[in-house]
Structure 1
Amino acid sequence: MDGVRQWRLNRDGSSAEVDLTGEILDGWGTAGALDWVHVNCARPGARDWLEAAGLEPLVLRALLAAETRPRCSVHGAGVLINLRGVNLNLGDEVEDMVSLRMWVTEGLLVSVQLRRLMAVSDVMEGVTRGQGPDGPAELVARLALRLADRAEPVVAGLNEKLDTLEDQVIEGLSALDRRGLADIRRVAIVLRRHMAPQRDALSTFEIEDMPWIRGHHRSRLREATERMTRLAEELDAIRDRAQVVHDQIMDARAEAMNRQMLLLSVVAAIFLPLGLITGLLGINVGGMPGAEDPRAFWIVTGALVVLGLGLVTLFWRTGLLGRH
């Protein structure tokens, strides 16, 4: 079946892909090797096969749940683990993370995906080349590490975009991509929301008292946990840096507006006494000085020019005009 792939993984790293079409999982994982069954529910017939595979109802519901968050919980002799990876499918949003659900026992690992997940394909390629894990915990660690490998370029890309915006703020460029900044913050927040629980899920799996989780498996799981921790910390830093850039942009806009308002205020202050004088001379009452003198208009005009130049000089020396 195209949507269901199965491998029998030996402890020496060798593997063999087998055909489970029409079979159930009862009895698998008891031959001293690890049986990995991966179900891609995006393919026709895969979901029906899984529902008929003989899993416990609780396990089946967890594997086929519509919405999941990263978690790790023990159920009987096995462990239910949900992880998430960045969505690198063409046309999808990278922050719309794809879930990987797993049921892990000593000899059996059933993994389920509802959409294409490139990290799983990476691990499959290694198994096909004969580089299989030596136990279920090792396989979980490999999947988690490949999820981190696929997420790291996305986080690095966010850092580079933010670096560009920070340089623009430093250079004082006016055409800043505020929509791009908002997208960076949104993606970082959404990714962070899944990375932190994923770190906790891997940490919980590492410390579970399962006899089939050996010492070197715990080391690999610890490495995967640290990778997720570092990604979560980088996303925190990106979110904080984006907030700082946003504040700087708003400060620059406020400062520009303040300069414009200051300039308008200075201009109004210059023309206020001039308007007062012209308004006073424009009143239509008797006794207006210079009403009969043909030179009075030019005298008043010259006095207004001198007064205006004096006010401009005064504001310039006080630094009000030098700030715009």
Structure 2
Amino acid sequence: MDGVTVWRIAPDGVGTVAETDATAPADWSAEGALTWVHVDCARPGARDWLDAVPLDPLVKRALLAPETRPRCTTHGDGVLINLRGVNLNPGDEVEDMVSLRMWVTAGVVVTVQLRRLMAVRDVMDGVARGQGPDGAAELVARLALRLADRAEPVVAGLNEKLDTLEDQVIEGLSALDRRGLADIRRVAILLRRHMAPQRDALSTFEIEDMPWIRPHDRARLREATERMTRLAEELDAIRDRAQVVHDQIMDARAELMNRQMLILSVVAAIFLPLGLLTGLLGINVGGMPGAEDPRAFWIVSGGLVLIGLALVLWFRHAGLLGRR
């Protein structure tokens, strides 16, 4: 059926695609092989096929839930795991992470995706090349590692963009891309919101007391957990660095505004006494000195110029002019 793929993976890693007619979980198991049932609910008919499968109602609700967060929960002899991967589909936002829901038992792994997830395709390509996992826990570890592989370039891209903005701040450029900085912070926060719980989910699965989780499976799961931890820490660092850059931009803008206000204040302080004098001399009352002297205008103008120069020199001596 389109949208439903059933892989039979032998212990040597060689995988073959089986028929999808069987809808009973008991028919999925194969002696000495791992069965991986992948359901792509973005394809027509896949959800209906999964609805018809006689799985435990709780398991089915978890696999088909419209919204999920990364978690790991034991249920009977199996484990329910929800993971998230970056959205690399064309036209979608990378931070709109795609969920991968899994029902994991000793010999059968059921994975469900509502949108295309490239990490799943990466693992399937490995199975097709004869490099498949040798157990259920190993399959979970490979999926988690591929999710981390796909997320690392996205996080690295955020670091590079932030490095560019930090360089611009150091160079003193005032026309910074504040919208781009806000986008970096938003993407980092949204990615981190799922990376941290995903780390906890993988750590929980690693320590679950299931007989089919072998020591080397736990080592691979520990590696996946550490990579998720590193990604979460890098996202924390990106968020903090973006906040520092934002603060530096705001400080630079405040300093520029203060300098401009200082210049306006000094100019106003210079012209305030001059305006007072000209206003006083312009009153229309008798007894104004120099009213009949033709040289009075030039004398007053010269005096105003001298007073203005004296004020400029005084403000410069006080350090209010000429500062950088």
Q: TM-score per shorter chain, which class? A: over 0.9
Deviations 1:277-298 (A, max 9, x none): 1111111121111111111110
User: Structure 1 runs of 4+ off > 3 angstroms?
Assistant: none
Deviations 1:255-281 (A, max 9, x none): 000000000000011011111111111
Please list every run of 5 or more consecutive structure 2 residues that lacks an aligned counterpart in the other structure.
none
TM-superposed CA distance for 1:28, in Å, is 2.5
Residues 128-143 of structure 1 mapped to structure 2, 5 A cutoff: 128-143=128-143
Distance in 1 between residues matched to 2:20 and 2:298, nearest whole Å: 106
Q: Which residue of 2 aligns with 1:206?
A: 206
Q: After superposing the two structures, state which structure 1 stretch, 119-128 or 44-53, moved more.
A: 44-53
Q: Between the two proteins, what is the percent identity of the paired residues?
A: 81
Q: Which residue of 2 aligns with 1:302?
A: 302
Q: In structure 2, what residue type is equivalent to 1:127?
A: V
Distance in 1 between residues matched to 2:129 and 2:54, nearest whole Å: 30
Q: Which residue of 2 aligns with 1:235?
A: 235
Distance in 2 between residues matched to 1:249 and 1:261, nearest whole Å: 18
Q: Which residue of 1 aligns with 2:98?
A: 98
SS of residue in 2 equivalent to 1:17? strand
Q: Which residue of 2 aligns with 1:157?
A: 157
Q: Report the TM-score when normalising by structure 2.
A: 0.98
Deviations 1:43-90 (A, max 9, x none): 011111111122111100000000000000000000000000000000
SS of residue in 2 equivalent to 1:323? coil
Please list every run of 5 or more consecutive structure 1 residues that lacks an aligned counterpart in the other structure.
none
Q: After superposing the two structures, state which structure 1 stretch, 98-107 or 43-52, moved more.
A: 43-52
TM-superposed CA distance for 1:10, in Å, is 1.6
SS of residue in 2 equivalent to 1:321? coil
Distance in 2 between residues matched to 1:30 and 1:145, nearest whole Å: 26
TM-superposed CA distance for 1:29, in Å, is 2.5
Distance in 1 between residues matched to 2:278 and 2:223, nearest whole Å: 82
Distance in 1 between residues matched to 2:203 and 2:253, nearest whole Å: 45
Question: How many residues are paired up?
Answer: 324
Q: Is the 8 A contact 2:11 2:33 kept in 1?
A: yes
Q: Which residue of 2 aligns with 1:121?
A: 121
TM-superposed CA distance for 1:11, in Å, is 1.6
Q: Is the 8 A contact 2:100 2:111 kept in 1?
A: yes
SS of residue in 1 equivalent to 2:147? helix
TM-superposed CA distance for 1:21, in Å, is 2.3
TM-superposed CA distance for 1:32, in Å, is 2.7
Residues 1-324 of structure 1 mapped to structure 2, 5 A cutoff: 1-29=1-29, 31-323=31-323
Distance in 2 between residues matched to 1:82 and 1:26, nearest whole Å: 23
Distance in 1 between residues matched to 2:114 and 2:273, nearest whole Å: 76
Q: Is the 8 A contact 2:35 2:108 kept in 1?
A: yes
